[in-house]
Structure 1
Amino acid sequence: MSYTIALNFEDGVTRFIGCKAGETVLDAAYRQKVNLPMDCSDGVCGTCKGQCEQGAFDMGDDYLEEALSEEEESEGKVLTCQMVPSSDCVIQVPVASTLCKTQVGEIKGRVAMVEPLSDDSIELAIDLDDTELAFLPGQYINIQVPGSDETRSYSFSSRPGDKRASFLIRNVPEGLMSGYLTGTAQPNDELTMTGPLGSFYLREVKRPLLMLAGGTGLAPFLAMLKQLAEKGCAQPIHMIYGVTRDDHLVKRDELDVYAETLPNFSYTTVVADEASEHPRKGYVTHHMAAEMLNDGDVDVYLCGPPPMVDAVLKHFRDQGIDPASFHYEKFAPSLTPSEAEVA
């Protein structure tokens, strides 16, 4: 038996390793040439300390209080030299990936489909070359634009492990990737990608979820919903999906399927255009009912363009809304990964 361990480094790089039954995370990482921080490897020094965000494991009792206190353990802190997983796990490693002698992976793929969904968005599907790509739902990957040395960052809308990866891409006038997709892209064009990356991803669901999507910021939520539908979720999930114009509302057929098949999932659409005949006009902050916030006992995920994200952050501050956890990602058409803001 083997478990999949996602190691999330502080520079945004995620590396997936396999951990055998009875094997410590530290030993598994070293076996796969990922040099996690360590000194003693005996539970004495605390150098290998990380944060386990989800998953089951056994820490045993062969470590010192000075290395890991009871309070730290209650907060989910772990010593990777002592941690023996009994399920798949996600671990935050508080150093850069380069210090662990690992780096973001390179993936090859080929264009499978380019489909305009509206004048504002394009769906890109990529067949991966003999690869089942592991990532956490919500993460993104960098795609090199053919014919250039530049990359663009896009969140997966597909499910982890699929051999065909899909993305929702904003159609930017005169944009480098948009120009390629609408002008010269052909089936089987080779694409080079690096990733996965990002700290915006679905955590273990312990309370109601509120998903706030703006435009093509819908993409990571589609990946999250695919996983929730596959694994099941007993908690209420509500999405508010906001766009500028009526015809920018895409993938509603897919959302309708989830509304019918995923228990406790519902969604609301909002259009900002005042000339729209949509029943709900304005912005996502205008349609955030109190029951969606569950008196603060809610996990909020937010992804959209910077003005939308900033407006939601301001609304939460002004209204004194303090969710149990709040994860957001803002994107702009030409941002490099180092310029993207994630929390």
Structure 2
Amino acid sequence: MQLRLDVHDRIDHMPGQHYVVRLTAEDGYTAQRSYSVASAPGDPLVELFVERLDDGEVSTHLTDVVEPGDELEVRGPIGGWFVWDGETPALLIAGGVGVVPFVAMLRHARAIGRADLLRIAVSSRTMAELPYTGELLDAGALIVLTREAHGIRPAGRLTAAELVPLWEPGQIAYVCGSASFAEAASQLLVGLGWPPSGIRVERFGPSG
């Protein structure tokens, strides 16, 4: 679900940063969760993508309970390592909802006329489970599906050979996804000769 927030006195974020959403119950119990920003810095609203998890204290509230006009406690933008400066060529590799910060990068690149700097590869179980599919297809992203065929490509994991055509000199590689995906994608890059210092990784998973 796309959640668009009017954050008062907000500071413009950098593509790749995130916000923390905190909920407080009447008895004082609190729960919080981090969500990557999908909107470009120039967007007047902050767009977060919330994946509903059946046992998620925060995600179920945001997707099932929150209505337009409700007030939420948020903190951000947060993060200084996994950000794109809008000037450096980048290879973006995402697993599932890990694509969200890359959508912010893509939207920003389009806004400043530098979409040519980004190359995108995304892995998802199915097309229906992949958020922002239309924007990714419009951007020419490589989309790999592990549970169903996509075009003439059969179902299967992302391979090193598929990343080779996306390489350009001077790129920084950004990898975002579950811990297992991030590790596998990073190993693909290292196996291709990518210097570890040129790989930035953001892992996500259930909050403790």
Verify same fold: TM over 0.5. yes
Pairwise CA distance, 1:205: 2.5
The answer for the alignment partner of 1:272 in structure 2 is: 146
Pairwise CA distance, 1:320: 3.1
Q: Deviations over 1:130-175 (max 9, x none)?
A: x343111100111112534121001100122433211112221211
The answer for the alignment partner of 2:84 in structure 1 is: 202
The verdict on how the C-alpha distance between 1:239 and 1:226 changes in structure 2, with shifts beyond 3 A counting, is same
Task: State how far apart, in whole Å, the 2-side matches of 1:126 and 1:133 are.
Answer: 13
Aligned AA for 1:127?
A: D
Which runs of 5 or more residues in structure 2 are unaligned?
A: none
Task: State how far apart, in whole Å, the 2-side matches of 1:184 and 1:235 are.
Answer: 40
The answer for the alignment partner of 1:143 in structure 2 is: 21
User: 2:94 pairs with 207, 213, 238, which one?
Assistant: 213
Task: State how far apart, in whole Å, the 2-side matches of 1:194 and 1:333 are.
Answer: 19
User: 1:330 pairs with 198, 203, 207, which one?
Assistant: 203
Instruction: Report which of the two has the higher share of strand.
Output: 1
User: 2:53 pairs with 165, 172, 188, which one?
Assistant: 172
Q: Does 1:126 align with 2:9?
A: no
The answer for the alignment partner of 1:98 in structure 2 is: none
Which runs of 5 or more residues in structure 1 are unaligned?
A: 1-121, 260-265, 336-343
| Contact 1:143–1:152 (Cα < 8 Å) also in 2 | yes
Q: Deviations over 1:190-244 (max 9, x none)?
A: 10111211121003524x4211111111111111112111112274421111112
| Contact 1:297–1:324 (Cα < 8 Å) also in 2 | no
Q: Does 1:321 align with 2:199?
A: no
Q: Which has the larger radius of gyration?
A: 1
Q: What are the equivalent positions in structure 2 for 1:1-343 lying under 5 Å apart? A: 122-129=1-8, 131-147=9-25, 148-198=29-79, 199-206=81-88, 208-233=89-114, 235-257=116-138, 259=139, 266-273=140-147, 276-279=148-151, 280=153, 281-286=155-160, 288-294=162-168, 297-322=170-195, 325-334=198-207
Q: Number of aligned pairs?
A: 202
Q: Identify which range, 149-158 or 285-294, moves more after superposition.
A: 285-294
The answer for the alignment partner of 1:86 in structure 2 is: none
Task: State how far apart, in whole Å, the 1-side matches of 2:14 and 2:7 are.
Answer: 17
Task: State how far apart, in whole Å, the 1-side matches of 2:143 and 2:175 are.
Answer: 15
> Counterpart of 1:150 in 2: which secondary structure?
strand
- Identical columns (%): 28
Task: State how far apart, in whole Å, the 2-side matches of 1:213 and 1:287 are.
Answer: 16
The verdict on how the C-alpha distance between 1:161 and 1:238 changes in structure 2, with shifts beyond 3 A counting, is closer
Aligned AA for 2:193?
A: G
Task: State how far apart, in whole Å, the 2-side matches of 1:233 and 1:324 are.
Answer: 24
The verdict on how the C-alpha distance between 1:128 and 1:231 changes in structure 2, with shifts beyond 3 A counting, is same
| Contact 1:157–1:222 (Cα < 8 Å) also in 2 | yes
The answer for the alignment partner of 1:262 in structure 2 is: none
Aligned AA for 1:255?
A: L
Across the aligned residues of Structure 1 and Structure 2, the Cα RMSD in angstroms comes to 2.3
TM-score (norm 2): 0.85
Aligned AA for 1:145?
A: L
Aligned AA for 1:128?
A: V
> Counterpart of 2:97 in 1: which secondary structure?
helix
The verdict on how the C-alpha distance between 1:188 and 1:229 changes in structure 2, with shifts beyond 3 A counting, is same
Task: State how far apart, in whole Å, the 1-side matches of 2:187 and 2:99 are.
Answer: 21
Pairwise CA distance, 1:319: 3.9
Q: Deviations over 1:310-338 (max 9, x none)?
A: 11122233443327722221111315xxx
> Counterpart of 2:59 in 1: which secondary structure?
helix
TM-score (norm 1): 0.54
> Counterpart of 2:199 in 1: which secondary structure?
strand
> Counterpart of 1:255 in 2: which secondary structure?
helix
